[in-house]
Amino acid sequence: MSAESAQARRAIVFVPFPAQGHVTPMLHLARALADRGGVAATLAVPDFVHRRMMSQDGGDNDNAAGRVALVPIPSGVPDDGGDEPPGFASIVHAMEHHMPAHLEGLLLAMARAAGRGGAAACLVVDVLASWAVPVAARCGVPAVGFWPVMFASYRVVAAIPELISNGFISGTGTPLPPSTNKINEADSKGRKLGDLDILPSKLELSTADLPWLVGGAASRQSRFAFWLQTVDRAKSLDCILVNSFPGEGAGDADRPYDPPPGQRILHVGPLFDDDSLGRPPCRKSTAAAGAAMWQADPTCMEWLDRQSPGSVVYVSFGSWVAPIGPDKIAQFALGLEAAGRPFLWVLKSHPSWRAGLPDQFAETIAAAGRGKIVSWAPQEDVLRHGAVGCFVTHCGTNSALEAIRHGVRMICYPISGDQFINSAYIVNMWGAGIALASSDRDCVKDCIESVMEGEEGRRLQENVARMREMVMLGEGRSIAKRNLDLFLEGIIKSDDDAS
Ligand SMILES: O=c1ccn([C@@H]2O[C@H](COP(=O)(O)OP(=O)(O)O[C@H]3O[C@H](CO)[C@@H](O)[C@H](O)[C@H]3O)[C@@H](O)[C@H]2O)c(=O)[nH]1
């Protein structure tokens, strides 16, 4: 049997964490593998994600996932399909208590169909959806991890035991003050992670930037417990595919990572919906390529067409952060207006997001042709448009990588989770953006001015171009391609061994 026809029998099921920033890269991975080796790829998503994806694509399953079958897993999570996605707590509850039996049902049904070539050869599990790892074990299906964000974040959560034993955090994840009396400026923000040699000290990250420090004490503790469980389950994985590139641009400053014995870390990113991994481009624009959970405003592109090259400030805080509050929104609005440049601002239409906007702000700036506020934009199309001059971003991984892909310099305003780590890479390691120290009107205005004009702006533009070259065109691509091949070869071998 030829390698091609042998590969055609391999069914791989992909299980993402149910949030936009996770479903998108997992779908890109599924497509990359489906197109490469004739793999039969199935994306198993909770029912509420399935409904959202289908409703953005006219209900055509083939179109929705584009060469990847999309299967709904009952979740029991109520969802009105509106601006606000279901919250973290209800998602975690569904993942631990509701979805496992249904995924097990799917895998067993596939095994029963094995005679027709349907048994799953592998389950690719988002490491944050680690609930699926024991399901795979129960069904006798090999599980492989997928880490959708910067590997640096993985290193931080994998180092939780080290952070505890060195007195950086308590047993419940709370940052601890230094044991000496030498309180310096960095210590007042938290202890420096660089001191533990977890990440390069050039990043200037501290314990205040740890990814589970989201919301109040109860939320922080439950997120920390979630991470502990995640890290524990990840230990059993033989292989983790990482949606990032080796070294993450840290060069010599990057300390090599020692995985647990027997575990392989394969960098396969950044994954995009294009042909840069040797596959045909999706027939639709990326905005409609099937992963979106919200309808993109169709008027963004024609508005951009009317703007001068490089003049527009694009602002978006992604899909998975809480409203930043009326005071900050008010200041942002004033700062954007004061900067005197056209801006396109993605701001969910839910009142909790827009509270704080000055009266008639959206209408006034639109009428004057100075700006546009939409609740969801076709972001990749926006970033590749020549009118965009900079991106004010919350530093979600996908947004950061998309900005690099399209060569757009950034103004970094991290809000929660891994975004502080991403921001540190963008600003301190890659020099592809600057940090917005606060949302105050003058700070926003000054930052936009320094990025859009003068020496600083030119420096950022050059650095983004250098990163783009390295990540999108250089050695990073060939490593990603090679690692995808290695991964597929491993699946084929273990499937052959098992049969
Ligand atoms: O108007 C918009 C806004 C966003 N996007 C897309 O939505 C995705 C957003 O992803 P990301 O930038 O990663 O932000 P979040 O959705 O907020 O992502 C969550 O998940 C990411 C992956 O785990 C983390 O890095 C982030 O911190 C976390 O907030 C990107 O592909 C964008 O292109 C649109 O298409 N239109």
Q: Concatenate the DSSP letters of all residues of 100-116 into one string.
A: HHHHHHHHHHHHHGGGG
Q: Is 379 in the pocket of ligand 1 (CB under 6 A)?
A: yes
Q: Concatenate the DSSP letters of all residues of 416-429 into one string.
A: STTHHHHHHIIIII
**Ligand 1 centroid – CA 329 distance (Å):** 19
Q: Is 430 in the pocket of ligand 1 (CB under 6 A)?
A: no
Q: Concatenate the DSSP letters of all residues of 193-211 into one string.
A: GGGGTSS-GGG--BGGG-T
Pocket test of ligand 1: the residue of 320, 372, 384 to mutate, having most ligand atoms within 8 Å of its CB, is: 320
**Ligand 1 centroid – CA 399 distance (Å):** 6
Pocket test of ligand 1: the residue of 29, 293, 319 to mutate, having most ligand atoms within 8 Å of its CB, is: 319
Tokens, residue 477: 């691509």
Q: Is 273 in the pocket of ligand 1 (CB under 6 A)?
A: no
Q: Is 307 in the pocket of ligand 1 (CB under 6 A)?
A: no
Q: What does the alpha-carbon distance between residue 61 and residue 292 come to, in Å, rounded to a whole number? A: 14
**Ligand 1 centroid – CA 358 distance (Å):** 26
**Ligand 1 centroid – CA 317 distance (Å):** 8
Tokens, residue 2: 């030829």
Q: So what's the pLDDT on residue 63?
A: 44
Q: So what's the pLDDT on residue 178?
A: 74
- From the list 498, 336, 460, 318, the residue with the least C-alpha distance to 393 is 318
Nearest atom of ligand 1 to the alpha carbon of 402: 33
Nearest atom of ligand 1 to the alpha carbon of 376: 1
State pLDDT tens for residues 309-360. 999 999 999 988 888 999 999 999 999 999 999 999 999 988 889 999 999 9
Residue nearest to atom 29 of ligand 1 (CA): 320
Q: Concatenate the DSSP letters of all residues of 11-27 into one string.
A: EEEEE--SSHHHHHHHH
Q: Is 20 in the pocket of ligand 1 (CB under 6 A)?
A: yes
Q: So what's the pLDDT on residue 115?
A: 67
- Global pTM reads 0.92
**Ligand 1 centroid – CA 471 distance (Å):** 19
Residue nearest to atom 26 of ligand 1 (CA): 396
Q: What is the side-by-side strand order in the sheet with 312-316?
A: 371-374, 343-346, 312-316, 388-393, 410-412, 433-435
**Ligand 1 centroid – CA 111 distance (Å):** 35
Nearest atom of ligand 1 to the alpha carbon of 320: 17
State pLDDT tens for residues 305-316. 999 999 999 999
ipTM above 0.85, yes or no: yes
**Ligand 1 centroid – CA 169 distance (Å):** 28
Q: Is 418 in the pocket of ligand 1 (CB under 6 A)?
A: yes
Q: So what's the pLDDT on residue 280?
A: 42
**Ligand 1 centroid – CA 396 distance (Å):** 5
H or E element that contains 122: strand 120-126
Three-state DSSP state, 463: helix
Residue nearest to atom 34 of ligand 1 (CA): 379
Q: What does the alpha-carbon distance between residue 21 and residue 286 come to, in Å, rounded to a whole number? A: 14
Reading the chain (499 residues) residue by residue, the pLDDT tens digits are 344 444 456 899 999 999 999 999 999 999 999 887 678 999 999 999 999 998 875 544 444 455 799 999 999 999 888 888 899 999 999 999 999 999 999 999 999 887 656 799 999 999 999 999 999 999 999 999 999 999 999 999 999 999 999 999 999 999 998 764 343 444 456 888 888 888 898 999 999 999 999 999 999 999 999 999 999 999 999 999 999 998 898 765 567 788 889 999 999 999 997 655 444 443 333 333 567 888 999 999 999 999 999 999 999 999 888 889 999 999 999 999 999 999 999 999 888 899 999 999 999 999 999 999 999 999 999 999 999 999 999 999 999 999 999 999 999 999 999 999 999 999 999 999 999 999 999 999 999 999 999 899 999 999 999 999 988 887 778 899 999 999 998 888 877 777 7
Q: So what's the pLDDT on residue 495?
A: 78
Residue nearest to atom 10 of ligand 1 (CA): 21
Task: Please write down the long-range contacts of 224-231, taking CB distance under 8 Å and 24 or more positions apart.
Answer: 224/172, 224/173, 226/92, 227/157, 227/160, 227/173, 228/160, 229/130, 230/127, 230/128, 230/130, 230/157, 231/157, 231/158, 231/160
